[in-house]
Amino acid sequence: MTRLMLGRTLERICKGVLLLCLLHFLIMMILYFDVYTQRFDLFSRFNNGRNGSRNNMSGAAGSGHHYYYYNISRPNATVASYLATGEQLVLSMQPETNQTPSPKPLPPCPENPPGLVGRLLIEFSSQMTMERVQKENPNVTDGGHYTPPDCRPRWKVAIIIPFRHRENHLKYWLHYLHPILRRQRIDYGIYIINQLGEDTFNRAKLLNVGYTEALKEADYDCFIFSDVDLIPMDDRNLYHCYDQPRHFAIAMDKFGFRLPYAGYFGGVSGLSKKQFLKINGFPNEYWGWGGEDDDIYNRITLNGMKVSRPDVRIGRYRMIKHERDKHNEPNPQRFNKIQNTKNTMKKDGISSLTYRLVQVKRYPLYTNISVEIGKPPPRPFKG
């Protein structure tokens, strides 16, 4: 009895398994034919569309539309994948172009650069060489040019130095000023205007020459005019232009770190291009030492501008001690000329400048411009 019941149970289990297998087979067949039918229908529709589009190709070309055909009989493919393939094909059919992303514009340089030191120790006792200065300033390019790599300065500054026989002073000036200017985030070029020959020196005329020659190289909009023997003692004395003409060297050690008189504009000064042209540049007729800076001050005030200055604690300068240069004796006519600035400034200045350019040579730390500027007119005979 027990064996009979066990046999019937096993028979039922086997039949159940067979029924499940048959059901599974039927489901698989249904799914297979359903998918096959869909694929065949989709293929037929696309094939018909392709044949129709071929027949209408001339009309499509006239209307500016383009048709692309894809192989949709791939296994494991989906409509989404067909669409993706179509997009890739469209992209591949487009002409190749340079798609290099344009660099992001640099931000403006900060008004108060964060890397400034403040008060500086300036000394002239250690030996200085051009090789040392060049190693200290690897980022300065030929001709004495530098542009901040991380920001966009407001001004493009030409620094102009009247020069003759001051090679030793120039080494110290470059040694101190290049690092200061880089910390100030100044876009600048340095121009040494060398007066050839041994005739009487003319500082203001050389500055006019520097202005003219610098503009041949770049579109400067700010000009700093500096004597080669003056070194700023504070890098917060920023070498760029301001809303009014700027006098930087207001507290020299030789004057006891005081302004010698209210109208003093000597040593180091700065004017924008617009301000410079407004006063017709600097006078050309001050031969010898003295007077030209007072004439420039008069030109500024007579044209309705005011001189701006830094705080006296920041505008301090050290001067390299030296003997007065030969052929740069005090100009005995300077006092008379200063009193006549109003009458002379429109006809004597950048508009009347004449000189002969002899040589332009670019050194690693500066650009040297050698010129001949003529001789002073003969002095009237006193009888």
Q: Which of 119, 132, 322, 356 is catalytic?
A: 322
Q: Which of 187, 229, 285, 295 is catalytic?
A: 229
The span from the CA of 138 to the CA of 155, in Å, is 22
SS (H, E, C) 248-296: CCCEEHHHCCECCCCCCCCCEEEEEHHHHHHCCCCCCCCCCECCHHHHH
DSSP-derived letter for residue 69 is -
Q: Which of 235, 292, 295, 348 is catalytic?
A: 292
**In DSSP terms, which residues pair with 49 in a beta bridge?**
none
Q: Which of 213, 234, 235, 293 is catalytic?
A: 293
Q: Which of 233, 252, 319, 345 is catalytic?
A: 319
**Cβ atoms within 10 A of the Cβ of 90, count?**
11
Our answer to whether residue 128 is catalytic in this structure is: no
The span from the CA of 174 to the CA of 187, in Å, is 16
Cβ-contact 144, 175 below 8 angstroms = no
The span from the CA of 110 to the CA of 233, in Å, is 21
Cβ-contact 205, 373 below 8 angstroms = yes
DSSP-derived letter for residue 224 is E
Our answer to whether residue 324 is catalytic in this structure is: yes
**Cβ atoms within 10 A of the Cβ of 76, count?**
5
- Best CA proximity match to 189, nearest among 360, 364, 359, 367: 367
The span from the CA of 274 to the CA of 296, in Å, is 15
Our answer to whether residue 293 is catalytic in this structure is: yes
Question: What is the Cα 209 distance to its own chain's centre?
Answer: 25
Q: Which of 155, 164, 175, 227 is catalytic?
A: 227
Our answer to whether residue 289 is catalytic in this structure is: yes
Our answer to whether residue 155 is catalytic in this structure is: no
Q: Which tokens belong to 35?
A: 């998918």
Our answer to whether residue 319 is catalytic in this structure is: yes
Q: Which of 3, 66, 324, 379 is catalytic?
A: 324
Cβ-contact 315, 309 below 8 angstroms = yes
The span from the CA of 287 to the CA of 200, in Å, is 6
Our answer to whether residue 229 is catalytic in this structure is: yes
**Residues noted as catalytic:** 227, 229, 289, 292-293, 319, 322, 324
